[in-house]
Amino acid sequence: MRADTFRVVSTAALAGLLLVGCGTGTSSESSAPTDAASTTTSAGAPASSAPSGAAAADADTTTADSLDVVVNKQNPLDPADYTPDPLVAIEGQQLRGDAAEALETMLEDMRAEDITVSVTSAYRSYDTQVSTYDHWVQQNGQVTADRISARPGYSEHQTGLAVDLADGSGCDLQVCFSKTRAAQWAADNAFEYGFVLRFPEGKESITGYAYEPWHFRYIGRDQAEQFHASGAKTLEEFYGTGAAADYIS
C-alpha cells in the first residue's frame, strides 16, 4: 500500500523469493520447491491429514472474519475484496483490533529486552494488492510477478491478521532476518501472544510460499498455544485444510 514497499522490494536482490508470502505469491511451476518438503504433492497429503486438535477440527477456516481463516493459493478470501472492520492503527499500520492489541503487547515485551523491532507491513487492502501486483506484472511480466507479489484476494495481509516484522539491520524482508534477535525471539515466543510463523522453512510445497522469517499470523492465543503444542508447522497442517503449493486456477 505504500510507496516504500516498492522501494524496499526493488532494492532487495532476492525479493522474488522473499516477498512471496507477503502477499504475494506465486505459483509458477518453475518456482516449485525442490527441497524435501516437495515430496508432499500440492493437492495432497495434508488434505488427508487430520486436524491437530479439537479446536482446530472445529475451526472455521473459510470465513474471512474468522481468526482461523486459512488464506492461501487454494483458498482466496471470500469475498475477494473483503475488508476487515474495524481496523486499528498500530505502529503506522493497521490490524484487526484483537491482533493489534496482541502485537502491541508483544512488541513492548520485545523492546523491554532491548530488541529492536518494527512493523513494515500489516493490513493491505484488495486495491493495494491490485496496484502492487500490477506494478510487478508491468515491471517483470506475470511469471516473475507471481513470484514476488500475491494476486489480489489471495493475500493473508488482507485479513488484517498478518504482520511483517523488521529491525532495520539490513535483512528486512530477507531470509537473513532469521538470524536477528527480533526474528529469533518471535519464532520462540510469538505463540504466547497468539501469533504463528506462517511460512516456515522447508514448507513451500504446503504453504505455497518460501521461508519468511518476518511474517507472523494472528490466530488468537489459545489457538496459537495449541498450534505450538501440536508440533504442526503450518496452518494447513494444523487445520487439515490441505496443501496449497499452487493457485487453484
Distances (CA, A) of 197 to 75, 213, 234: 19, 7, 8
Stretch 42-81: interaction string toward Zn ion, x if CB under 5 A: ----------------------------------------
For 182-190, the CB contacts below 8 A with 24+ separation are 182/110, 182/115, 182/116, 182/117, 183/213, 183/214, 185/110, 185/113, 185/115, 186/106, 186/110, 186/117, 186/216, 187/213, 189/106, 189/109, 190/106, 190/216, 190/224
Q: How far is the CB of 96 from Zn ion (least distance, A)?
A: 15
**Are 22 and 71 spatial neighbours (Cβ–Cβ below 8 Å)?**
no
- Taking CB under 5 A as the binding criterion, the range among 15-23, 45-53, 71-79, 171-179 that sits at the site for Zn ion is 15-23
Q: Does 172 bind Zn ion (CB under 5 A)?
A: no
Stretch that binds Zn ion, among 18-26, 31-39, 101-109, 234-242 (CB under 5 A): 18-26
- Site membership for Zn ion, residue 22 (CB under 5 A): yes
Shortest distance (Å) from residue 159 CB to Zn ion? 11
For residue 44, the minimal CB distance to Zn ion (Å) is 25
Q: Does 164 bind Zn ion (CB under 5 A)?
A: yes
Q: Is 124 in the site for Zn ion (CB under 5 A)?
A: no
Q: How far is the CB of 33 from Zn ion (least distance, A)?
A: 18
When asked if residue 99 is in the footprint of Zn ion (CB under 5 A), the reply is: no
Apex 175 CA angle, 246 and 61, nearest 5: 40
CA distances from 33 to 27, 30, 118, 194, 209 (A): 11, 8, 30, 29, 9
State the minimum distance, in angstroms, from the CB of residue 157 to Zn ion.
Answer: 6
Q: Which residue's CB comes closest to Zn ion?
A: 22
Cβ atoms < 10 Å from Cβ of 184: 14
Q: How far is the CB of 196 from Zn ion (least distance, A)?
A: 13
Measured from the CB atom, is 156 or 237 closer to Zn ion?
156
Determine which residue in the list 147, 215, 217, 233 makes contact with Zn ion, applying CB under 5 A.
215
Q: Is 217 in the site for Zn ion (CB under 5 A)?
A: no
User: What is the rounded CA–CA span in Å between residue 158 and residue 20?
Assistant: 14
How far apart CA 50 and CA 240 sit, in angstroms, is: 5
Point out which residues bind Zn ion (CB under 5 A).
Answer: 22, 164, 215
